[in-house]
Every structure is written in C-alpha cells, then in structure tokens.
Amino acid sequence: MSTPEAGRLSEILARSATRRDFLSRASALSLAIPAVGAALTSCAPNGEQATDSAAASKRAGGAAASGSQESRLPHNSDSRLDSAVLKQEHATPSSATHEATAHAAETKYHRYDPMLPPLPNGNRLQVHFHAREAPIRVSDDLVVAGWTFEGDIPGPIVHCRVGDTVDFTLTNESDIPHSMDFHAAQIDPKTAFRSVIKGQSVSYTFKPKWAGIFMYHCGTAPVLMHIGSGMYGAIVVSPREPLPAAKEFVLVQGEYYLGDTVNGARPFDFQKMLSTVPDFVTFNGRPNQYIKEPLRVKVGDRVRFWVGSVGPQHPCNFHVVGEQFDTVYLGAPPGTPIRGVQTFAVPAGGGMCFELLCDVPGEFPFVNHAFGHGQKGAIGILAVEG
Amino acid sequence: MSTPEAGRLSEILARSATRRDFLSRASALSLAIPAVGAALTSCAPNGEQATDSAAASKRAGGAAASGSQESRLPHNSDSRLDSAVLKQEHATPSSATHEATAHAAETKYHRYDPMLPPLPNGNRLQVHFHAREAPIRVSDDLVVAGWTFEGDIPGPIVHCRVGDTVDFTLTNESDIPHSMDFHAAQIDPKTAFRSVIKGQSVSYTFKPKWAGIFMYHCGTAPVLMHIGSGMYGAIVVSPREPLPAAKEFVLVQGEYYLGDTVNGARPFDFQKMLSTVPDFVTFNGRPNQYIKEPLRVKVGDRVRFWVGSVGPQHPCNFHVVGEQFDTVYLGAPPGTPIRGVQTFAVPAGGGMCFELLCDVPGEFPFVNHAFGHGQKGAIGILAVEG
Amino acid sequence: MSTPEAGRLSEILARSATRRDFLSRASALSLAIPAVGAALTSCAPNGEQATDSAAASKRAGGAAASGSQESRLPHNSDSRLDSAVLKQEHATPSSATHEATAHAAETKYHRYDPMLPPLPNGNRLQVHFHAREAPIRVSDDLVVAGWTFEGDIPGPIVHCRVGDTVDFTLTNESDIPHSMDFHAAQIDPKTAFRSVIKGQSVSYTFKPKWAGIFMYHCGTAPVLMHIGSGMYGAIVVSPREPLPAAKEFVLVQGEYYLGDTVNGARPFDFQKMLSTVPDFVTFNGRPNQYIKEPLRVKVGDRVRFWVGSVGPQHPCNFHVVGEQFDTVYLGAPPGTPIRGVQTFAVPAGGGMCFELLCDVPGEFPFVNHAFGHGQKGAIGILAVEG
C-alpha cells in the first residue's frame, strides 16, 4: 500500500465480499463468461498490482504504457485509455459501494426535467462534471446505488451549437476510476477519455461537427458496468441554422439491471446486465415518471423529441400514441428527414430527432413500443392543452 | 356486486386461480417486477373496487376521472384512457379465460390470407370490430387461448387511402375491458382509445395523413398482455397517387409466449412475455404457414410487402432468400426510398414497405433473418411461377 | 445402408449420443419448442429414411420432390432447397462432430485479416469454397468446434463490382449436408442454394445488381444451427463508379453460443442459440482480436467500414469511440447517404457501409455499442498514426 490511492482501491476490492460468491454462482449456472471471469480475476485481492497500477497512473498522467503483460490481458473497454487502470479492471460485480448506498433511505425523489436547456450565450461553453457514487431515488419505493455524473441519472443535459467550443473537465470524487466519452467529440480517446482516480481531473476541448443528440458516458472498463450503473447522459447539438420553432424535449432511455437491496438501495448488477433482460426501462432514469408528471405543451405547438438510447443494450422503439411523426432525422438534422413515421428504433449508443405537430388537444402517451420493455417503465405522457 | 358487469369482472378474478401461485412464483424467482406486482395487486379480489370501477366506467362513458388516488397508482398503460378501468388493472397473468379456451379441440385451422384487400369504393370506410376471446388453431397441433379482434389473430387487414375517412367502432364481447389504438389515427387517445367493458362500444373517426402499414392493437393496460395475447392487426394506407402496379401482401410479425395447456389451448403468459424469449415468431399469426401454403406470383410481377412488427418486443429483420429489395420505404411511401437492400429491421410497433421485381422463377423463402426467431416460425415461401 | 452416403449419415446420427439427453432436458425445462422437436424427431435413428433420402437426393440432383409426407413435416429451413435432405433434418443439437473437434489442442490462432481484398482483374470471378468441419482457435484459450467455409470463421471475403460475373462452386467435404446462400445473388434458391452431401458439389453463377456488403451463409436446415456454427462470411460489391479513395475494412459480427468442451473444443449449441443470449460476440470470428492487433491507418485517411451482422440473432450497433461517421449508407452505396452519425444498427442478416475521415491521430475503439454484447468481444481498435 504505497499510495493513498492504492489503499482506496484495495479497499474497494476488499469490500467486494460478494466476489467469491458471485464466481461460484456464475460457475454453477454455467454462466462463467470468460470476459467476465478474466476481468474479475484481474481484481487481484492482494494490494500489489493495485499499487503498481495506481503508481503507473500517477507517473504517466494516465498515458498508456503498452507492454507484453498488458497485451495478454483481455481488454473489455471501449476506450483502453489508461492501461494502468485497465490492469486492475474494476469489474465490480455490483455498484453497491459505500458511497452509493450511504443514507439511501433519506434521499428524495425529484422529477428529471426533460426540457432542452437554452443555448449558451456566445460560442464557448464550460462544462465541469464530477463523478460521484450516490443513492438515487427513482420512484417512491425504489432507491438505486448509482454511479453518476453530478449526482443524478442521467447526468445534466448539455446544449450547444455545431461549431461551438466545449471546454470539458471531469473531476473524480469516487473511489473507482472513471472517465468521460462524449460521442459529440472527435478526439483521441486514449488521451481525452482516459480514466482518472479519486481527486484527479481530466480536461479536453471539442467542437461538435454535426447536429443531433449524442450520448456521453463513462468509458472505463468494463464499460457495460459503468454505463449500466448510471454514468450516462446527453449533449444536444443544434444546427447553426435553427430548426423550425418547437417545444424541445430530451428523452434518454436507460435500462436497469438490479440486485438485492444493500443498505436500503438496490445496486446495479453486472452479471444481470450480461443477461440483457432488464428489470426497468426508463426515460431519464425513472420508471414512468412522466405519467405522474407529464410533458405539457399547447395545441399548435411543434414538439421536437431528442431521443437517445444509452442502453446499455437495447434500442428505444419510439412512438407517440395517437400521433405520427411528420419528421424523423436518422442522421444529423436538418439532413435526410423521413416523413410519416409511427415508430422508429433508436439504437443503443445512438440518438435520433423526432418531430410532430400537436394539432389536437389530448393526452398522448409516448412509449418504447417494444412493450416487453415499455411495460417496465418506458412510458410517459405528452399533455397537449387546448 | 351491484352490477352485472362487476359480477363478471369479479368472476374473471375468481377464475384466475393462478394469481397467488403466480405471485409467489415470481417472488421466488426474484422476478417480482414492481409494475407487474402493482398491476396484479390492483386486481382486488373483493368485488367492491371492481363495482366502483365498472360503475364509474358506465357513468362517465369511459372518460377518465383523474384524481389523487389514480395518480398514486402505477400506470403501465400506453393509453391511460379510462382510469376506471385502470383502477382494476386486469393484469391476468395468462390469457386462459373461459371463452378463450372453450371448445378448443374443435377449432379448425385456416390460412390467414396475406393479400392486401382491395381499396374501398369512395372515400369513406366503415369498420366495426368486435373484441372476442376465442381459441385459435395456429397449426395442426397447437391451439392458443386468444384475445382477438373479430375472432382471429391478427385481426382483419384494413385498407384505405391517405385522406379517406375511417369510421371505426369497437364492440367488446369479452369479459375483460378492451380498446383500440390505430397507429394511423391522429386523435386524443384518452377519449378515442379508451377501454370499454362487455357489451359496450366505442366509436371514432379518423383520416390517415400518411401512407404506410400501421399497427392497430388493444391499448388497455397492461398493453403488453393485450398485444401479446393476440389483439393486433394492420391498416395499410395507400398513397393517393398510386404506387407502381404490384402484387401486394401484408405480413404482420407477432411473437407467442405460451404457458402450459389449459382445456386444450395454450394460453399467452404475461411473465414469459417479460422474459422476451418467445416460443414462436409468426407471420400473420401461424408459425410457418406460408411454407405449407406459399404466396404465389408470376415472373415479371413486382411484389410489394407491407411488413409490420407488432412485437410485442422484437423487430422483424425482413429478407427474401435469393432476392434483393430494389426499394425499401423507411417512412411513408413514396418518400425517401432506399435501394438495393438485402435485409432491413422493422421495429416492434412499426411498419415498412419492401418491393422487389420477380425476374426469375423459383421458390424464394421470406424470413426474419434474426434466425433465433426465424427458426421459431417466421419463415414463408414466395413462389414465382414462370 | 444401401449407399455409402447413407452410411455416413447414419453414423452422424449414431454419434449424436446426446440426442436423447437433449430431448429430455429440453422437456424438463419446458423448452421443447416444436420446430426443434420435430427436426430432431425426423433424425430417425434407423437407417431406412436416411437411405431413402440420400438416394432421392442422388436421383433428383437435389430437386425437391413435393409430396404429402413432406408437406406434413415442419420446414424450418430458409431455403427448402432439397426436400430429400429436409426429410432427415440434421438438427444436431451441437456442432461437436468428429472432424470439428479432431486435433483441437494443436490448432493455431491467427488473426483474421479485415482488409478488403483487391478487386479481381476483368469482370469474372471464380470462387470455389469447401464446406469443412474443423476446430478453430479463436483466442489463446478457446477452440470452437466449427462448421466452416474454407476452414475459417468467417469464410473468405469475396470482392467484386456491380455487374461482374461470379462463378461459384461449393464442394462439401463434411459428413453433414451443406449449401451456400449468397445474399448478393438473385437466383432461384431451390436450385442454386440446395444442399449437397459429402463429396458432392453445387455450382451457380450470379451477377450482383447492387453495391454493398452482403452476407453469405449455409442455408441448410436448421439454418440457425449452420449459421450459428460458423458457416458465414461476406461478399463486398463495389459500385462500378468507384467510391472516394479510402482504407477499406470488412467487419462481420457473429455471435457464439457454446456448450461444454468436447475433445478440447467447445461446440456450438443449438438450444442455447434459441435462448438468444450469446457467450461471445465477435468481429470476424474472434473476441477482441483487433484490440490485440489493431487496424492501422494514417492521419488524413478516409476509412470505409463494410459492416455486416450475420447474427444469427442480433444487430451490430456500430460506433467508433472518439469519432463520428460523416457518411452511412443504409442502402446500396452511393445512394441515400445519411450524415453525422454516432451509431447505427446493422440488422442480423444485413450489412451497411460506414465512413469517417481520420483527421486526428489516436487509438479509436470500434464497438458494438449495445454493451451487453460489446462487452462479450465486439470491440477492436482503429489506430490512426500521425
């Protein structure tokens, strides 16, 4: 334990008391998927490897030190940014860390505001996010053990224009290494999307080239675990030439794969994520939240839904009951619109823009029309007032 | 038991002897998904709530009575049309009602005619459907306990033009509340797509704005159960300016999630639907029906497939073996065609139009090329005669 | 046992010692899907039917002999090419034949070259493939019992232009009947894609009409088993008017559903395929192979990915970390490009073309952003050197 960081890291591993249970259970079920096994195996319970890794991470400022040992390891990351971090592979089988469950019972529910925030003044946007483990109340009777950006699931909606400059900083306040991958950035992920450990920050600047809704997420290995535990959100990039005036909403579909309650919070469960059958499917992190508190517009309004699916696995088959989209942009708006659409699938890791004109009043449910998932919470109401 | 309806409703609940078993089993399997649990919980076995609900439903003609009690309930509906109905939430864990299984052994198999029916004379179409529970023989050795429109799965194909007027009426002949959601209608679902109980009817009028194949389905909560038990079909809306002459077929892909045989019929199983691994995947409701009795055309014919996937969960990755589509319309025909396509995915709850020119004779299987599903019955033959 | 072929066929069946175990296990799990059961049932362990079938196959040169017996059988093929073969339905529950596992321990790993091979000289291409069962080492510690074209998974990449003539021959060197279905061919599958038994060949000629990446695969029933055991690959058809100069790569996503090790190789497992939860998801047949040995290009290069998903079940939600596609062709290039895309889903049985411009150096992971699958091996690195 030569560094404080290493100490913290080995604590994390020590806290994973479920690791052995998990492995033996996986084995009994013939579910011992090698990638997972390997990842878990690399969570060496002795401190030495962790110490080395943490030291290497500090030494190199996160730049990868490629080597023969590394190349023998399975890299189940989509960023492979920081080989020091990769060496320890924080494949925690659940998100139930101390911070993610502390004071779970006392956390309050709040509706996630789906309105697209206004554009920034000027052409430069400063965004500073903090990676935090925190319990999140997603319904009256459910608190999840979240890994978050800015303490919420999803993280905050970012809004800018094509060609604006985004200065982004991530500061990690969590015991587990984290990183940030913006799908709107064209940049070397090995450097920009590298993992940082507790107390450290990473900064980079990007200029979005294309309009659309783009996912952001933690890209630290195993990526499935970090996205699946809540580290995701959306940046909406508006075209420089404005689209037709509309009420604009952001809906980010995310799946929840949950284990048994720990300290009042249900943790996200890595093995269950691999099974791909979610417990809940949510818009903006809360099952059915916009049934309780609908989106409200007026007759005559054009409504623009910026819809992303962060998965981690499934598409959002977006549909509005009682309405049809006059326009869906499969690529960057305003390019290649298609017209007259009832339902279109937004792939996991992707985003699309859906528009409709509210010419009659009423209550129009918007749903993931794959109802095996819709029924698990991906339903809300668009209330059109006369 | 103040009303006959309420009596019938409580009978339904009484007949659901499996309810307790279901709940305890779900709990044992850690599958107690809250939305389901809540829906089932609201199926109160005492008659009082049912009485209230049925009374309210009659009183208000089905219009929703929003209130504080309602807002505390989980709404796992995509239409939320009739809060009276929602309050009792007929989340029967299987479709095995008395009517759905009566005389199952005597039901006859028939091929579902996939030909697009002719356009109506004039610009106005009267459509009157009846919601009925009935056993349906879908292959020589399989009868399912169906919830249907007009006694078949899928319900009848409706065909009209953009801008035609469709006068629609649904009469419910079933003990369970039902409703009708036409994806081709732009209308307030709270009123038009409201649930009606046995003996009641709901009527509405709509004018389709866009060409395409659009799903229709029962939207009564839980929607997954109603779609999954067979209450779906398709309306094809032709553009006013006719598309090129073609032999036109309608293929509606639907998944079957079945429980153990009850009275000679296999019921649709709600819990299995949530698992999203189907037993069968069908075109027009019968596994492999068009292998036995192919679609027949002649060399030189243009063939237009109107393909919908009603799910309830999965896309149809539509492909014709030995052919390529010269045209696929992702949105409303004739807009934005794409060319030269082997396979395209029609999302659950969506529809697309696929065209090919039959320039050689032969037997061309059409399939869902996601063969984990194709192998379960989503295969047919297009026979091109010289 | 009147013919050598029949002898071999019945040997196959005799070797399937697991058949009874399989059936009883399936039954116990309530997974006895009729199509499978029927297919297995038709693998009659007495030699007579096999003899008849093999004889019929020789007699008719593979042409289907339709009859009343045949029409009572479930046809779970997508080609139904050779009813003689269909009658015996080689629905082996796993791929662990003698040849597929022989000398498994001694097989060497090799990287599958993802570079698009050069176009042929002239307008005519001779392609002769051999169907072979063979163990394939797909990672240091994993050998699979493969059914292959040309001894590899995927089979070789074929490259030609729209309008070129492809003379194709398949010779079967395997005990199990096989066939070849090219999605780029417009031809009667009943004849061209018919199954052939060991020692026999089938030949046909086709002229691709459309540009794109098209799947090829064995279409012998049950198709799921043949695709799922490795009998797939891709043909890239370039437009006659060349696309912009680019470094061109071919990525074929395939899923692995594996049983327990037999003779040092893990067989592909039919029942697991039907469950649709894969053990591995691969680009070009090896989990994570292009993390170990990346794709290498230079700054300023345009990169064109020809991406196919052979499934057998799932799409590839293709994404490049740190990059955006300036162009995705949903249909045949150069038609209907969409612009500015982070992720698009290539359906199982389909293919799409993705382009980006490498304007910054770095290491850019390409992934299936459905991370429940990406995490199982569908990740590689695009290294852009300055």
| Contacting partners of chain A (3+ CB pairs under 8 A) | B, C
Pick the range with the lowest mean pLDDT from B78-87, C216-225, C371-380: B78-87
Write the DSSP symbol of residue A112: P
Flag whether pLDDT at A127 surpasses 90: yes
Q: Give one DSSP letter per residue of A325-366, joined into a string.
A: BSEEESSSTTSSEE-SBSEEEEPBTEEEEEEEE--S-EEEEE
Sort strands C158-161 and C142-149 into parallel, antiparallel or unpaired: unpaired
- The pLDDT of residue A93 is 86
- The span from the CA of B96 to the CA of B147, in Å, is 9
The four Cα atoms B155, B161, B167, B168 give a dihedral, to 10 degrees, of 20
Interchain proximity B322–C35, CB inside 8 Å? no
Per-residue pLDDT at A92: 57
pLDDT band at C159 (very low <50, low <70, confident <90, very high): very high
Strand B295-298 to B266-267 pairing: unpaired
CB contact under 8 A, C321 and A79: yes
Interface pTM (ipTM) of the complex?
A: 0.82
pLDDT at B303 over 50: yes
- Residues in chain B closer than 8 A to A381 (CB atoms): 80
Phi, psi of B289 (to 5 degrees): -65, -35
pTM for this model (two decimals): 0.83
Distance from CA of A108 to the nearest CA of B (A): 17
SS percent in chain B: helix, strand, coil, step 5: 25, 35, 40
- Chain B positions in Cβ-Cβ contact with residue C222 (cut-off 8 Å): 375
Classified as helix, coil or strand, B27 is helix
pLDDT tens column, C75-110: 333 343 333 333 334 445 899 999 999 999 999 999
pLDDT of residue B93: 86
Q: How far apart are CA B36 and CA B40, in angstroms?
A: 6
Q: Are strands B302-311 and B350-357 parallel, antiparallel or unpaired?
A: antiparallel
What is the residue-averaged pLDDT of chain B?
82
Residue A11: predicted pLDDT: 33
| pLDDT over 90 at B116, yes or no | yes
A34-38, B26-30, C130-134: which is most confident:
C130-134
CB-CB contact of C177 with C137 (8 Å): no
Overall average pLDDT of the B25-36 stretch: 28
Range A316-321 average pLDDT? 98
Tell me the pLDDT tens digit for each residue of B118-161.
Answer: 999 999 999 999 999 999 999 999 999 999 999 999 999 999 99
- The band of C20, judged by pLDDT with boundaries at 50, 70 and 90, is very low
Which among C190, C274, C332 is the nearest to B340, CB-wise? C332
Sheet holding C212-217, edge to edge: C158-161, C232-238, C212-217, C181-182
Closest-CA residue to A133 (of A265, A311, A293): A265
Residues in contact with A378: Cβ distance below 8 Å, sequence separation at least 6, in sequence order: A253, A281, A282, A283, A287, A316, A367, A368
Calpha distance B340→B356 (Å, rounded):
9
Residue C69 has pLDDT above 60, yes or no: no
C191's CB contacts (< 8 A; 6+ apart) are: B362, C62, C63, C81, C204
Distance from C-alpha of A99 to C-alpha of A147, rounded to nearest angstrom: 9
What contacts A15, CB < 8 A, 6 or more positions away? A97, A98
Overall average pLDDT of the A157-171 stretch: 98
Q: C313 CA to chain B: closest CA distance, Å?
A: 4
Provide the percentage of residues in chain A whose pLDDT is more than 70. Answer: 76
Structural contact between residues A2 and A236, judged by C-beta atoms closer than 8 angstroms: no
A182-209 average pLDDT score: 98
| B86 neighbourhood in chain A, CB within 8 Å | none
Q: Which of C288, C174, C148, C287 is nearest to C229 (CA)?
A: C148
A70 pLDDT band, cuts 50/70/90, is very low
Arithmetic mean of pLDDT, B224-230 = 98
Residues sharing a CB contact under 8 Å with residue B48, sequence separation 6 or more, in sequence order: none
Contact state of A324 with B190 under an 8 Å Cβ cutoff: no
DSSP string, B182-207: ETT--S-HHHHT--B-TT-EEEEEE-
Kindly report the nearest CA distance between residue A354 and chain C, in angstroms: 15
- Flag whether pLDDT at C271 surpasses 80: yes
Q: Chain B interface, mutation test: which of C27, C78, C227, most B Cβ atoms within 10 Å?
A: C78
Alpha-carbon distance of B194 to B214, in angstroms, equals 19
Give chain A positions within 8 Å (CB) of B215: 342-343
The yes-or-no verdict on residue B81 having pLDDT over 50 is no
φ and ψ at C119, to 5 degrees? -65, 150
| The two structure tokens encoding residue C350 | 């389909």
Helix axes B47-60, B4-15, angle to 10 degrees: 140
Average pLDDT over residues A215-244: 98
Say how far apart CA C289 and CA C112 lie, in whole Å.
8
* CB atoms B223 and A344 under 8 Å: no
The pLDDT value recorded for residue C290 is 98
Could you tell me what percent of chain B has a pLDDT over 70? 76
CB-CB neighbours of C126 under 10 Å: 10
Task: Supply the pLDDT for residue C92.
Answer: 57
Angle of CA points B50, B52, B58, to nearest 5°: 100
- Indicate the average pLDDT of chain A: 82
Contact C372 A311 (CB under 8 A): yes
| Cβ atoms of C374 and A217 closer than 8 Å | no
The better pLDDT of the pair B62, C294 is held by C294
Q: What is the 3-state secondary structure (H, E, C) of chain C?
A: CCCHHHHHHHHHHHHCCHHHHHHHHHHHCCCCCHHHHHHHHCCCCCHHHHHHHHHHHHHHCCCCCCCHHHHHCCCCCCCCCCHHHHHHCCCCCECCCHHHHCCHHHCCECCCCCECCCCCCCCEEEEEEEEEEEEEEEECCEEEEEEEECCECCCCCEEEECCCEEEEEEEECCCCCECCEECCCCCCHHHHCCCECCCCEEEEEECCCCCEEEEEECCCCCHHHHHHCCCEEEEEEECCCCCCCCEEEEEEEEEECECCCECCEEEEEHHHHHHCCCCEEEECCECCHHHHCCEEEECCCEEEEEEEEEECCCCEEEEECCCCECEEECCCCCCCEECCECEEEECECEEEEEEEECCCCEEEEEEECCHHHHCCCCEEEEEEEC
Sheet with A316-320: strands ordered across: A295-298, A379-385, A362-368, A316-320, A343-346
Residue B350 contacts residue B332 (beta carbons within 8 Å)? no
Taking 50 as the threshold, does the pLDDT of residue C155 lie above it?
yes
**pLDDT averaged over chain C?**
82
What are φ and ψ of residue B166, in 5° steps? Answer: -110, 115
Report the Cα–Cα distance between both ends of chain B, in Å, rounded.
66
pLDDT digits (tens, 9 = 90+) for A251-304: 999 999 999 999 999 999 999 999 999 999 999 999 999 999 999 999 999 999
pLDDT digits (tens, 9 = 90+) for C297-316: 999 999 999 999 999 999 99
Chosen for mutation from C317, C375, C382, C384 (greatest number of chain A CBs closer than 10 Å) is C375
Q: Say whether pLDDT at A250 is over 90.
A: yes
Residue B223 CB neighbours (<10 A): 27
Least confident of A15-24, B33-42, C98-107: B33-42
Percentage helix, strand, coil, to 5, in chain A?
25, 35, 40
